[in-house]
Amino acid sequence: MANNEELFKKIISHAKEYGFIFPSSEIYDGMAAVYDYGQWGVELKNNIRSYWWKAMTQLHENIVGIDSAIFMHPTIWKASGHVDAFNDPLIDNKDSKKRYRADVLIEDHIAKIEDKINKEIEKAAKRFGESFNKEQFVTTNPRVLENLSKINDINAVYSSAMQANDLAAIKKLIEDLGIVCPISGTKNWTDVRQFNLMFSTKVGSVSEEADTIYLRPETAQGIFVNYLNVQKTGRMKIPFGIAQTGKAFRNEIVARQFIFRMREFEQMEMQYFVRPGEELKWFEYWKNERIKWHLSLGIASDKYRFHDHEKLAHYANAATDIEFNFPFGFKELEGIHSRTDFDLKRHQEFSGKKLQYFDPDINESYVPYVIETSIGLDRMFLAVFSNAYCEEILEDGSQRTVLRLPNILAPVKAAVLPLVKKDGMPEKAREIMNKLKYDFNLIYEEKDAIGKRYRRQDAIGTPYCITVDSQTLEDDSITVRERNTMQQERIPLSNIATYLQEHINHLTL
Ligand code: GAP
């Protein structure tokens, strides 16, 4: 098996070769951290979005959706704290002239120490075989303990420096850890400074007089400023939620890892408005609901883990990340935050408008507390896509690349294939297409030998291939080939719609 870096490269080139993701503006040499979704990519992305949207709005009677504008009043970003504090700490290497995120340099250093720990564990697991007790090994092995304590020390210094906005202390930490620039190999660093991640532009016809506005860096604020509109017009009672999906923009300094960190990306966010004092109960509820949603896709549970935040942002009283094991290791996929009443209170203050809710059950008015679930659609795409990518050696020694996508997310649900391009088979196949195409996204293919056509469908993750052969013309039966097992079964043509319905359309939480 390829190592993870090689595997990741293969996944990226597969995404391009099979029409899922292209570098943006490719004929002009591309743009860093911006990507375009191709013909199958857009279908997969739409399916992930719809799976999330249905789980949020259709399966929860008290959650509704909105679609707020990307441009918003600039004071919103003052109130939310983004103008003053949505920053990343930057550092430049004076020799290579390369720019880095100081926190990422430190994170990468920690990741190297974690690698050492994992290697120790792997070695020991091999040595002890069946009798290996990982828990015991990790808590007693001196080398592992030494490395764990190094990580804790680094985290402690880093967190307190970040909390105090002490940029000199962050630079000192980088120097003390002996971190070198990967390009020049030197430790010749500039001071660390803060860099605001918001993109700004001007609105109005005369640029000097025009107002500066921002491209939203998160969709959440569009929900906060509409919460009373929705509550009143929808006669919503607390607890209730508002969901939104849409583009967000961040001027990321470190743009790498494909669609993991982009400058233009899409978020799927939900704000759940609750009675003050009940927020931690709902925080636990949403942790559970969200992990259930992920696992409902059939992805192995050991691909996920929670990472609770030890140091909380000043407005949060609980926060956790759902991390996914990407080809480059466990990284944040989704955030679940208990944001208190911070955002609504700030909007109340900056707008001068009351944002209170009258709770008829307790006869009291208050500013609700908020639990947020926030997941990057592109990151979810990468999680699903990389998890599905599989290279297999078949019994006859040939190789196939298959995307074992969850059926419900697959861009194409079935390919309709006449065995040969004659004897009335194409006509029969077209007839099937015309019947099924209103309910399923299908593809029709008659070019090349059937085996080659199966491989092409495997490569884009099509769960079923429906083949029309000479027997179809005699008794109206077809063969259905399943992508993962490659098993074929012959069923009456009249059963195919139900067959696909049963095997594809399910969303149960
Ligand atoms: N409203 C809360 C919020 O925006 P966040 O942790 O900054 O929180 C939420 O972002 C999610 O958005 C992340 O867990 C990640 O999945 C996604 N995300 C954030 N920045 C991203 C980027 N530059 N590229 C792709 N996805 C990103």
CA of 187 to the centre of ligand 1 (A): 31
* Cross-strand partners of 359: 364
Which pair of structure tokens corresponds to residue 107? 């994170």
Answer whether residue 154 is part of any domain: yes
Task: Give the distance (Å) from ligand 1 centre to CA of residue 267.
Answer: 7
Alpha helices in 462-506 (DSSP H): 470-475, 496-504
Q: Where residue 172 sits, what CATH number does that domain have?
A: 3.30.40.230
CA distance linking residue 356 with residue 320, whole number of Å? 27
At 181, is the secondary structure helix, strand, or coil? coil
Asked whether residue 404 is assigned to any structural domain, the reply reads: no
Work out which ligand 1 atom sits closest to the CA atom of 335: 14
Q: Is residue 349 domain-resident?
A: yes
Crossing angle between the packed helical segments 142-163 and 167-176, to the nearest 10 degrees: 160
Per DSSP bridges, beta strands 240-249 and 63-65 are parallel
Per-residue confidence (pLDDT) for residue 180, from 0 to 100: 96
CA distance 24 to 507: 33
Is 399 within a domain? no
d(C-alpha 342, C-alpha 314), whole Å = 9
Q: How far apart are CA 36 and CA 22, in angstroms?
A: 5
404 C-beta closer than 6 A to ligand 1: no
383 and 240 share a domain?
Answer: yes
Is the beta carbon of 217 within 6 A of some atom in ligand 1?
no
Residues 235, 378 within the same domain: yes
Quick one: 388 and 416 in the same domain? no
Q: Do residues 256 and 369 share a domain?
A: yes
Same domain, 383 and 234: yes
Separation of 253 CA from ligand 1 center, angstroms?
A: 14
Decide: 269 in ligand 1 pocket, CB within 6 A: yes
408 lines ligand 1 (CB under 6 A): no
Please tell me if the CB atom of residue 472 comes closer than 6 angstroms to any atom of ligand 1: no
pLDDT value of residue 2: 46
Range of the domain at 485: 412-503
Q: Which residue has the tokens 């099937």?
A: 432
Statement to judge: residues 343 and 226 lie in one domain: yes
At residue 26, the pLDDT reads: 95
Position 210 scores a pLDDT of: 65
> 371 and 230 in one domain?
yes
Place of tokens 């719809």: 50
Domain identity same for 61 and 165: no
In a domain, 101, yes or no: yes
**What distance in Å separates the CA atoms of residue 264 and residue 269, rounded to the nearest whole number?**
16
Mutate to test the pocket of ligand 1, among 332, 339, 377 (most ligand atoms within 8 A of CB): 332
Report the candidate in 478, 372, 368 with the shortest Cα–Cα distance to residue 417. Answer: 478
* Apex 398 CA angle, 394 and 402, nearest 5: 65
**DSSP H or E run through 21:** strand 21-23
Choosing from 379, 380, 382 the residue with most ligand 1 atoms within 8 A of its CB, the one to mutate for a pocket test is 379
| Domain count along the chain | 3
Residue closest via CA to ligand 1's atom 17 equals 376
Instruction: For ligand 1, say whether the CB of 341 is within 6 Å of any of its atoms.
Output: no
Same domain? For 377 and 260 the reply is yes
Instruction: Specify the pLDDT at position 209.
Output: 61
Instruction: Give the domain CATH number at 437.
Output: 3.40.50.800
Would the CB of 109 count as within 6 Å of ligand 1?
Answer: no
Looking up tokens 């400058």 gives 263
Tell whether 71 is covered by a domain: no
Question: To test ligand 1's pocket by mutation, which of 24, 72, 256, 267 has the most ligand atoms within 8 angstroms of CB?
Answer: 267
Distance CA 150, CA 178 (A): 14
How far from the centroid of its chain's Cα atoms is residue 173's Cα?
Answer: 31
One digit per residue, the tens of pLDDT, for the chain of length 509 reads: 446 889 999 999 999 999 999 999 999 999 999 999 999 999 999 999 999 999 999 999 999 999 999 999 999 999 999 999 899 999 999 999 999 999 989 989 998 999 899 899 999 999 999 899 988 999 999 999 999 999 999 999 998 898 888 999 999 999 999 999 999 999 999 999 999 999 999 888 766 666 889 999 999 999 999 999 999 999 999 999 999 999 999 999 877 799 999 999 999 999 999 999 999 999 999 999 999 999 999 999 999 999 998 778 878 999 999 999 999 999 999 999 999 999 999 999 999 999 999 999 999 999 999 999 999 999 999 999 999 999 999 988 999 999 999 999 999 999 999 999 999 999 999 999 999 999 999 999 999 999 999 999 999 999 999 999 999 999 999 999 999 999 999 999 999 999 999 998 677 77
**What spatial distance separates the first Cα and last Cα of the chain, rounded to whole Å?**
34
Q: Are residues 262 and 383 in the same domain?
A: yes
Cα distances (angstroms) measured from residue 377 to each of 235, 237, 309, 394, 489: 30, 29, 22, 33, 36
Do 260 and 311 lie in one domain? The reply is: yes
The domain boundary, picked from 332, 357, 392, lies at: 392
What is the distance between the alpha carbons of residues 215 and 252, in angstroms, rounded to a whole number? 13
Strand stretches in 146-217, DSSP E: 193-196, 200-203, 211-214
Q: Which residue, 145, 161, 195, sits at the end of a domain?
A: 195
| Helix (H) or strand (E) segment spanning residue 86 | none
Same domain, 223 and 357: yes
Nearest CA to ligand 1 atom 7: 218
- Give domain status of residue 75, yes or no: no
Tell how far the Cα of 6 is from the centroid of ligand 1, in angstroms.
26
Query: How many whole angstroms separate alpha carbon 192 and alpha carbon 93?
Result: 11
The edge-to-edge listing of strands for the beta sheet with 264-274 is: 63-65, 240-249, 264-274, 369-376, 329-338, 318-326, 304-308
Find the 323 Cα to ligand 1 centroid distance in Å.
12
Flag whether 229 is in a domain: yes
Quote the tokens at residue 258. 């494909």
Please indicate whether residue 332, judged by its CB atom, sits closer than 6 Å to ligand 1.
yes
CATH number of residue 223's parent domain: 3.30.930.10
- Residues 268 and 89: beta-carbon distance below 8 Å: no
The token duo for 20 is: 């899922």
- For ligand 1, whether the C-beta of 244 sits within 6 Å is no
Q: How far does residue 375's CA lie from ligand 1's centre (Å)?
A: 6
Whether the CB of 402 sits within 6 Å of ligand 1: no
